[in-house]
């Protein structure tokens, strides 16, 4: 089962909609070890986001298991909220609270969940903002920030919880092209620092450069799983070859 060096172990995951007529995930299995950066690529509607959202049970699987540090999150007896704290999630559309300042957005969860005192959370927030060069924005409201800044704040907000893994659902797809770089740079720095990450992305060059493994999904299946050099340089699956011919 979920062994120790495996941070996440997905076993035979199925997700069906409309009483089984739509199979969003069709018997998917994947292991993710500590320190790995796994990029998930594939055409629209291939199940990438559903798979990612199943890792912390934002999507409840129809069947199968998701082990996180050896515990099956799909088990009804498990307190999923306790485990979600250890899994930072960053969405396409920032999801910052518009009526709270940048600092309040970052401090809210650690203080509310009593993981840190207000002082500790404030110190952590300033530290993280300094690291990404946005300390001068700490008292701004989200509507005063660019899309790239909002997404970087959303990442910092997830990091403030000191998670064991970061899950990114197409973190750059809602951004203007000139802002994509600043968000990818931040994710690149996290990778260098050894953060375990699972990233659903359309940015092939980034996947090739930053990921330690790339997973290709199509029709709810994991069709190929290989180091980036191999997956991009010598694809084996016909559907993957077809996909790469269109996007590269």
> How far is the C-alpha of 231 from the C-alpha of 237, rounded, in Å?
9
Contacts of 170 (CB under 8 A, 6+ apart): 49, 92, 200, 201, 202
pLDDT by residue, tens only, the chain of 248 residues: 434 578 999 999 999 999 888 899 999 999 999 999 999 999 999 999 999 999 999 999 999 999 999 999 989 899 999 999 999 999 988 889 999 999 999 999 999 999 999 999 999 999 999 999 999 999 999 999 999 999 999 999 999 999 999 999 999 998 998 899 999 999 999 999 999 999 999 999 999 999 999 999 999 999 999 999 999 999 999 999 999 999 98
Alpha carbon 98 to chain centroid, angstroms:
22
SS3 of the chain: helix, strand, coil, percent, to 5: 40, 25, 35
> How far is the C-alpha of 210 from the C-alpha of 29, rounded, in Å?
22
């Amino acid at each position: 089962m979920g062994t120790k060096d495996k941070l996440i172990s997905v076993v035979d995951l199925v997700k069906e909609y409309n009483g089984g007529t739509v199979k969003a995930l069709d018997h998917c299995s994947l292991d993710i070890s500590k320190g790995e950066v796994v990029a998930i690529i594939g055409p629209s509607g291939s199940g990438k986001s559903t798979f990612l959202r199943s890792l912390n049970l934002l999507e409840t699987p129809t069947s199968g298991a998701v082990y996180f540090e050896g515990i099956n999150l799909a088990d009804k007896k498990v307190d999923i909220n306790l485990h979600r704290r250890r899994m930072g999630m960053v969405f396409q559309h920032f999801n910052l609270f518009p009526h709270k300042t940048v600092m309040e957005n970052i401090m809210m969860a650690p203080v509310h969940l009593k993981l840190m005192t207000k002082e500790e959370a404030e110190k952590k927030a300033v530290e993280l903002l300094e690291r990404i060069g946005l300390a001068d924005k700490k008292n701004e409201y989200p509507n005063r920030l660019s899309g790239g800044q909002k997404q970087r704040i959303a990442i910092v907000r997830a990091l403030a919880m000191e998670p064991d893994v970061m899950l990114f659902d197409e973190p750059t797809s809602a951004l203007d092209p000139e802002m994509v770089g600043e968000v990818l740079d931040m994710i690149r720095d996290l990778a260098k620092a050894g953060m375990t990450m699972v990233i659903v992305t359309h940015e092939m060059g980034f996947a090739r450069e930053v990921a330690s493994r790339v997973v290709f999904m199509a029709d709810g299946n994991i069709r190929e799983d290989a180091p980036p050099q191999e997956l991009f340089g010598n694809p084996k699956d016909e559907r993957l070859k077809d996909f790469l011919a269109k996007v590269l």
